[in-house]
């Protein structure tokens, strides 16, 4: 039975989420502040964390950063009223796997939880990108699939796991277009019914890390109204 930890200081919301998640068959624990959340993660090693950002004692951003530096690799779903793009980028940069803005639809939240857990535990699906045996180069970037390394001008570039999976999904298409729906399914395990800016936000981060001019990318290209492709 997958174990989920909810770190949320709104007692009614936390209890409501726990009830619905337990009905779906999950084992659920609650922590009411960031300090307790950190202790619970270390003690329980949950399969997934649902994390509010505006927490007492230790805010969600700092908690997320500590969890990742501690070596916690489980998926983290950020749940917050802060919906600005800059806040989302900051959350992804520090290790969030997905981001849901309050108020949210319960069915969408449950679908995202299921997808994150499925993606974190399942073997790659037949349609998922498979590592290329040789390094791939574009511009001053080198991607080494076998070791999950990315270099720029010979220097390592630290990518989050989902960022690496996203660049690999583009590489495997050999310049062909990947739609947002395809990327959501392959990288995050989401069905097409889930509407999300997750792909766009991660792509913005990849451009920031890998493009000489992120505002005018030469390799990670947008295909208008469709998705993205990699120009080698």
Please give the full DSSP string across 202-228, using - where no structure is assigned.
HHHHHHHHH-SSTTS-SSEEEETTTEE
Note the pLDDT of residue 127. Answer: 45
> Where do the structural domains in the chain lie, given as residue ranges?
3-121, 136-230
Question: What backbone phi and psi angles, to 5 degrees, belong to 9?
Answer: -90, -10
Q: Is it the case that residue 92 has pLDDT exceeding 90?
A: no
Peptide bond into 103 cis (omega under 30): yes
Q: Give the confidence band of 193 by pLDDT, cuts at 50, 70, 90.
A: low
Q: Is it the case that residue 186 has pLDDT exceeding 50?
A: yes
Q: Decide: helix, strand or coil at residue 215.
A: coil
* Strand ordering across the sheet containing 98-101: 27-31, 3-7, 48-51, 76-80, 98-101
Is the pTM for the entire model greater than 0.75? no
Rounded to 10 degrees, what is the CA torsion of 91, 94, 98, 100? -20
Q: How far apart are CA 145 and CA 74, in angstroms?
A: 21
Topology of the domain covering 3-121: Rossmann fold (3.40.50)
Topology of the domain covering 136-230: Arc Repressor Mutant, subunit A (1.10.10)
Give, as one character, the DSSP assignment of residue 148: T
Note the pLDDT of residue 138. Answer: 93
Tokens of 63: 């908690």
The mean predicted confidence, pLDDT, of the chain is 86
Q: How remote is the C-alpha of 146 from its chain's centroid?
A: 21
Nearest to 76 by CA among 41, 105, 106: 41
Give, as one character, the DSSP assignment of residue 124: P
Q: Please answer whether residues 190 and 115 qualify as being in contact, where contact means their C-beta atoms are separated by less than 8 angstroms.
A: yes
Q: What is the pLDDT of residues 132-145, one digit of tens each?
A: 468 899 999 999 88
Q: What is the pLDDT of residues 23-41, one digit of tens each?
A: 999 999 999 999 999 999 9
């Amino acid at each position: 039975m997958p174990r989920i930890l909810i770190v949320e200081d709104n007692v009614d919301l936390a209890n409501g989420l726990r009830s619905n998640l337990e009905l779906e068959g999950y084992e659920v624990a609650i922590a009411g502040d960031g300090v307790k959340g950190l202790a619970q993660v270390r003690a329980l090693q949950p399969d997934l964390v649902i994390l509010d950002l505006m927490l007492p004692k230790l805010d969600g951003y700092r908690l997320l950063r500590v969890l990742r530096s501690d070596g916690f690799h489980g998926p983290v779903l950020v749940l917050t009223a802060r919906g600005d793009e800059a806040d989302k980028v900051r959350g992804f940069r520090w290790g969030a796997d997905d981001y849901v803005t309050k108020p949210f639809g319960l069915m969408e939240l449950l679908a995202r939880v299921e997808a994150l857990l499925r993606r974190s535990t399942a073997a790659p699906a037949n349609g998922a990108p498979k590592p290329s045996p040789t390094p791939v180069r574009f511009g001053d970037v080198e991607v080494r699939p076998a070791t999950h390394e990315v270099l720029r001008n010979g220097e390592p570039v630290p990518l989050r796991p989902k960022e690496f999976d996203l660049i690999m999904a583009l590489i495997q298409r050999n310049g062909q277009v990947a739609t947002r729906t395809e990327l959501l399914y392959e990288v995050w395990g989401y069905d097409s019914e889930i509407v999300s800016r997750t792909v766009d936000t991660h792509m913005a981060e990849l451009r920031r890390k890998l493009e000489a001019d992120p505002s005018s990318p030469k390799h990670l290209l947008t295909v208008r109204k469709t998705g993205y492709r990699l120009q080698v």
